[in-house]
Each structure stands twice: as C-alpha cells, then as structure tokens.
Chain A
C-alpha cells in the first residue's frame, strides 16, 4: 500500500502535474521563442527584397485560407478525440485521431502545392529576401506539422493495441497540446504573412 502511495506521489509530482505534461508545456514555451525568432526575422525583412517576385504578386490568400481552415478543423478533431477517450470511447478516439492526421496531411499537401506554384513564379530560398524568409518560416512550421502527424501515428499505433484507455490517456493529451500549439502558430503566420502581406 505504501509502495503504491509513494509511486503515486512521484507520478503526480510536487506540483500535482505529471512529469511529461510539465515537460511538454515547458517545451512549448521554448518553441514559442523559436517561432518568435523566425516571425520577427520575417517582419524585419519585409519589403527589403531587391528583386522579385514580391509577396503581393505571388501569394494566394484564397488557397491558404482554405488550408488554414483545414488546420483549424484538425484542432477540433483533436479535441473530439480526447473527449472520446475521456468518456471511454476507444473507437471514437481512433476515428478522430485518424481524422486529425488526415487533415494534417491535407494541410501539408496544400502547402506543397503552394510551394510548387511559388517555385514556378521564381520564388525560392535564394531568389530574394522574401523567398528566404518565407520558405524558412512556413517550411519550419510545415516541418512541425509533419512531426505532429508522425506523433499522432505513434499514438494511434498504441491505441490500436489497446494501450490508450479512459484511465490512461495522457499520450493523447500530450500530442494534443503540441498539435494545438502548432495550430496557433499557424494563425499568427497566416496573419503576418498573408493577411498583412502589403
């Protein structure tokens, strides 16, 4: 009995939070600084390109707006997945996690399509400052989405083996925290890069 009590104490920790959850929150705080660096670089370099293509001419807001809704929708499916397993609905969890991963892949496909069309217009990392800052910022965000999809795949694999239950669903919470963070970053990038592109 005392053994279980001691074990319990260590898992919930001095702050009453699980170690892993605390670590994810701390990690996200550090990631905020990473994206701040990239976004600030984009803003500082805005309008300093000495040659085209310029953002006002090549960025397609409608396409990316659709893509933004796809990613926002994936946050909704992620919340639904968590809520399903909190009610003990293991099938619902799997279904909504798959939906989230599919939406993530859809977003990445949209981004790939956008990158290819931009490349056709002559934009690249080396074309000018716009290309350099744009592809670095959105590319690293895309990389984060990609990592998120892989992470979801790991959680799904565990869920299919029955490793995620109503009492033990921290894995879903953790990937959810990361996923929502990546989503929020995109809202800022969408605003800064696309809505304020002039």
Chain B
C-alpha cells in the first residue's frame, strides 16, 4: 500500500560513531543534534531560572549577590531565546520539513551542518564567559548605556555580542536553506496551497529571521565597536543615542517574538487535526494569517518603547498596529478550536499539550493587547506584569507546543513511543507549576514590583506571591524530571511505534520510523493536503481532486546522498577562534580567519 516505504541499497561512505556526528550533513542527524543541544541549553536556562526564583522566594534574600543575579537573569533570557527555542524549532524544521515535503534532504546539506555548528559554538562562546571573567550582565535586551564600558566592565557583554552574532549567522544560513528547500524542493504535485501547515509557518519564520536578524547584527556590531574601539554610537555624552540601540534591537526583537511562536503555531496545526481526525479548519486562513503576522510583525517594534518618550502620534500608531496583530492571531485560534469541534478526539499527550498551548497562549495574547494600550503600558512598564505576559506567550506558548511536537514526532525519530501515562502526568504537573509561577506575576506587576531587581523589602506585600512563584518554578522542574525519566525509559523499552502510530495525515508517516537516510524509496506524488490520509482512506477524502490511490511515479533508483564533511565544523571552529581573539588579543584573529579560509577552500574543492 505505502509506495514510499521500502529499502534501497545506500552508498557506503559514512563515518560511524563520533565521527559520524561531527561530519554529518544529513538533515535528520542535524535535526537530532539541534534538538538535543537545544534541550541541554533548556535545562541550563531552567537551572538559571531556579536560581532566580530561589533568590526572589523570600524578601531581603542574600542567596545571590547583585552581580551574580544580573549575570544569571541575563543568561536565562539569552539562553531561552537564542539557545533553546530558536535552535529547537530549527531542529524540528530540519528533521521534519524535508519529510513533510517529500524531499530527500535539505537544499544545501553542508550549509545545514554549518548552521548547526555556528549555533553550538556560539552557545559555548557565550557560556565560556562564566569562566573567563564574568558573564553578560546587562539583560538579554542589552540596553544602552548599561552595556557601555562604564557600566559593564567585564568582557561579559563582548561575549554576548559575539555569541549572538555567531548564532545569528547560523540562523541566517539555516533560514536561507529552509527558504530554498521549501520553495524549491516540494514533491511533485505539492503546490504551495497543498503544503503542510508546519512548512508554511517555517517558511514565514525563515523570512522573518532573514529580514530581522540583520538589524540585531548591526546593533551588535555597533556595540562591539563602541566597547572595543571607542566608537560613541550609544554614548549620549558624545552626541550618540541610547535610543538608537532600542530601535535597532526591537526592529529585530519584535519579529523575533514571531520567530519563536510561528513554528509553535505550525506544530499545533499539525497535531490538532491528526488527534481530532479532521482536516484543519480553514487551511487558507491559517496559512495566510501566519503570513499576515509575519508582515505586521515588522511594523510594531516601538511598542516596546512607549515609555522612552516618543511623540504621541508614534505611540498611537504603534499601539494600533500592535492591536491589529490580535486579528490574524485570533483567526488562528478560532480555526484551531473549530478543528477540534466535532472531531473524534484521540486524547493523547500531544493533544493535551496542544490544547494547553491554546489556553495559555490566549491568556498571554490578552495581556499583550493590554500592554499595547499606551496608558496601561505606562503603568506597568518594567514590572512583573510584563514578565507574566512574555512567559505566557513563550512558555505557555512555545514550550507547550514544543512538548506537543516532541510527543508527536518522537516515535518517528526513534521508532519508539514516549509513555503516554507519564506524558499526561508531565503535562498536568507542568500546567499547574506554570500557572503557579507566572499567574501571580500579573498581580505583582500591578502591585508595582519592578523587573530585574535582585531583592525587595518585606514591607511591599510581595512576599506571599513571590514564595508561591518559587514553589511553582520547582513544580515545573519536577515536571521536566518526569519528562527526562520518560525519555530514558522510552528510549530503552518504549512501545514500538511502527510507521504510523497516530493514524496521521502527512508524508513523514509513510516511511519507516526512524526513516532511512534517503527518507523515501520513491519520491511521492502529492495530490491533496493530507496525502497519506487520503491514500489510506480514499472514501473519506475531503478534496474533490483526490485520486483514489496515487501510484508510484518512477522506478526506484539508488539515491545519491552526499558524504559527510569536516569543513562545516572547521569553518565554525575558525570563526569561534577568531571571536575569542577579538575579545582578548585582536591580532590573533588572523589565525581563526586563516582556518575559516582554509575551510572554505576545502569546502569548494570537495567532490560532491
């Protein structure tokens, strides 16, 4: 029945063991590398959040010094955004997008490896700052003049700038790859209007990265020049402008919010239809509302800056614009609810996380609309109300969706199912812990508790709520331990998944679990939006032009798969060396640059 499964002989030129992982250019290997590394950074960032909550659990606490607290909260934010959610979504994208498209790999396998190594070394560069004189300490938003040499004297912010640049180059290269792959490597018959929803959101996300990241790159380069070569860009005393940083940063920073959430929307849009046993409600509306969010995301950056003192017209325009984004977002939410409505629901862990996502994201979205209202923003700017909002969209949103995706695709990646019983326990503990941690922050914000303070007195009435939040944070930690246990037992002895454990809709489930290196023995031909479902149940097909059973189009030929390559890791390593030299001894950067150059020569000369 399934014409796309089956085995083919593969050219044997693959390294094994550790060499395989260092040289791999296969999109599934790289996807796994991304997922695992990003998850480790999630655990590190999570430990940092526990340190923060321990410090804030009681008033006048001295658990962390102010200096240590600044470093920990800066690294917590930086890690969760740049080293966890972005690369983890890139991991899903790498693993799943070519499978969803019916392709054998990404468009540029070696570039794909390069983007992973740039991310990993960028993360290591950032974290090595703890050992080399102190971590970044000016917040993940790195506002001038906190970042100036006068206020941040360690090398921490230099590490931050270069680490962000390095992961940024990685994301840019990765996005080039995604755009090319998605636009150009769809299976025969898969028009844009038949692409799976995760692919749609990944496409929009990639464009957002390509157009938003350069602004952060510019901002970071200017900051590096200021700190190291005395260029007075953000120094008001010499005519510079700290607000320039805010504009450049948020012109990146707001699209970044959608870079973190659109792939999550994509995951939800894959999971809900499968577990409701219905096609997604309003395919076109869900796809184009993602595109609309992408466009609008570039027009609202200054809503992060209402309190800076722009003129009232600008405030009004950005406020209105920001509220307009609620429209396409609501379109998505109503379509998801309509997808579930009347479905024959398969109440498994991925579904639970997806529904939890919708509920939590709505709360985060509503507090977002309230923050877009200028007078409200003036009142709660820089308080815990903002912290509550951003965690409801990024944890309640992205993280719940990430777990939905992990429970959904884990069987495809490993061949084994995660325990559903442990998954549901994990969900409920995390759900309770999450709300216990972040819901009281709304009230603390309204009570006037500022963000980023390392301690507070006991006379403000903040004690009980802060203690509750700390208990909540440790509850979340327990849920993550349950998940790690689930991973451990399921990898060892989980239930065998088979090709299609969820009775799913899309092409990745037509091949084996885990898929062979070449994904599909025969490249499938696609006629509908749910190619696999319509192939399994022709009588239930909802699209008119769905043929009864798609036939194999071509006889199987041995697919040529590129061999592994050392050059991606060499180039990334050279760049990392050059960046270390830029911090400590500029002339030595030439060594790193020579390595990069040698890597490029080898790359070009390598026979493919």
A13-68 residues at the B interface, CB under 8 angstroms: 13-15, 17, 19, 22-23, 26-27, 29-31, 33-34, 36-38, 41, 44-45, 48-51
Interface flag for A9 (CB, 8 Å): yes
Would A126 and B185 count as touching, CB distance under 8 A?
Answer: no
Rounded to whole Å, the gap between the CB of A78 and the closest CB of chain B is 20
Residues of A near B557 (CB, < 8 A) are: 2-3, 6
Residues of A near B188 (CB, < 8 A) are: 9
CA distance A136 to B230 in the complex (A): 12
Please judge, given known A-B contacts A129-B233, A136-B231, whether A48 and B555 are in contact too, CB under 8 Å: no
CB within 8 A of B248: which of A14, A41, A51, A140? A41
Rounded to whole Å, the gap between the CB of A134 and the closest CB of chain B is 10
Would B185 and A125 count as touching, CB distance under 8 A?
Answer: no
Would A129 and B604 count as touching, CB distance under 8 A?
Answer: no
CA distance A44 to B219 in the complex (A): 14
B96-152 residues at the A interface, CB under 8 angstroms: 107-108
Would B215 and A37 count as touching, CB distance under 8 A?
Answer: yes
B547-571 residues at the A interface, CB under 8 angstroms: 554-555, 557
Please judge, given known A-B contacts A6-B523, A14-B185, A30-B210, whether A129 and B179 are in contact too, CB under 8 Å: no
Would A10 and B239 count as touching, CB distance under 8 A?
Answer: no
Residues of A near B604 (CB, < 8 A) are: 154
CB within 8 A of A34: which of B218, B231, B238? B218
Interface flag for A185 (CB, 8 Å): no
Interface flag for B214 (CB, 8 Å): yes
Rounded to whole Å, the gap between the CB of B557 and the closest CB of chain A is 5
Would B176 and A26 count as touching, CB distance under 8 A?
Answer: yes
Would B217 and A34 count as touching, CB distance under 8 A?
Answer: yes
Would A44 and B244 count as touching, CB distance under 8 A?
Answer: yes
Residues of A near B251 (CB, < 8 A) are: 37
Would A19 and B225 count as touching, CB distance under 8 A?
Answer: no
Residues of A near B179 (CB, < 8 A) are: 22-23, 26
Count of A residues near B, CB < 8 Å? 41
Residues of B near A29 (CB, < 8 A) are: 210-211
1/0 per residue B23-44: CB within 8 Å of A?
A: 0000000000000000000000
Rounded to whole Å, the gap between the CB of A51 and the closest CB of chain B is 8
Rounded to whole Å, the gap between the CB of B438 and the closest CB of chain A is 34
1/0 per residue B508-546: CB within 8 Å of A?
A: 000000000000000100000000000000000000000
CA distance A181 to B177 in the complex (A): 20
Residues of A near B523 (CB, < 8 A) are: 6
Interface flag for B284 (CB, 8 Å): no
Closest residue of A by beta carbon distance from B233: A132
Residues of B near A31 (CB, < 8 A) are: 214
A residues bordering B, Cβ < 8 Å?
Answer: 2-3, 5-6, 9-10, 13-15, 17, 19, 22-23, 26-27, 29-31, 33-34, 36-38, 41, 44-45, 48-51, 125-126, 128-129, 131-133, 135-136, 140, 154
Among all A-B residue pairs, the 6 with the closest Cβ atoms: A126-B230, A13-B184, A37-B218, A132-B231, A34-B214, A33-B214
13 sampled A-B residue pairs with Cβ under 8 A: A14-B183, A15-B183, A19-B185, A23-B108, A23-B180, A26-B179, A26-B180, A30-B210, A30-B214, A50-B239, A126-B231, A129-B240, A133-B233
Give me 19 other A-B pairs in contact (C-beta within 8 A), A19-B107, A36-B214, A48-B241 excluded. A2-B557, A6-B557, A13-B183, A14-B184, A14-B186, A15-B184, A22-B180, A26-B180, A26-B210, A30-B175, A30-B213, A30-B214, A31-B214, A33-B214, A37-B215, A38-B218, A44-B241, A48-B240, A125-B231
